[in-house]
């Protein structure tokens, strides 16, 4: 099984189509272990990321979490931040 160093920028450049599913599952499990908000969410809904075997096993945070929580893995400062377009009076989500 391949493993990637998800802490390094551009780790995904050398991934082939055949390796994509394995990399996606490993990244999901990495995020689940290293992102406190994601880990808490998965725990609250009773999901065990270590049991993921296919892309359909991957769970995602609700979009609303990006408006109400700081979603960050690790302590490094973000290099880029994407803001959603919000209609008048709504809070913009941050990615």
Q: What is the pLDDT of residue 89?
A: 66
> Does residue 69 register a pLDDT over 90?
no
Question: What pLDDT score was predicted for residue 85?
Answer: 72
Angle at 39 between CA 38 and CA 41, to 5 degrees: 65
Q: Mapped to the 3 state alphabet, what secondary structure does 18-69 carry?
A: HHHHHHHHHHHHHHHHHCHHHHHHHHHCCCCHHHCCCHHHCCCCCCCHHHHC
Q: What is the pLDDT of residue 81?
A: 66
Measured distance CA(1)–CA(28) in Å, rounded: 15
pTM of the model: 0.71
Q: Which residues does 1 contact at the CB level (< 8 Å), separation at least 6?
A: 22
Structure tokens at 71: 């979603």
94 phi/psi in degrees, rounded to 5: -120, 135
């Amino acid at each position: 099984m391949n493993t990637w160093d998800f802490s390094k920028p551009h780790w995904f450049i050398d991934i082939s189509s055949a390796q994509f599913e394995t990399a996606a599952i490993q990244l999901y499990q990495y995020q689940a272990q290293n992102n406190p908000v994601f880990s808490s969410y998965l725990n609250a809904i009773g999901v065990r990321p270590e049991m993921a075997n296919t892309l359909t096993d991957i769970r995602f945070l609700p979009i609303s979490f990006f408006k109400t929580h700081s979603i960050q893995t690790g302590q490094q400062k973000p290099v880029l931040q994407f803001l959603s377009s919000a209609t008048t009076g709504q809070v913009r989500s941050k990615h």
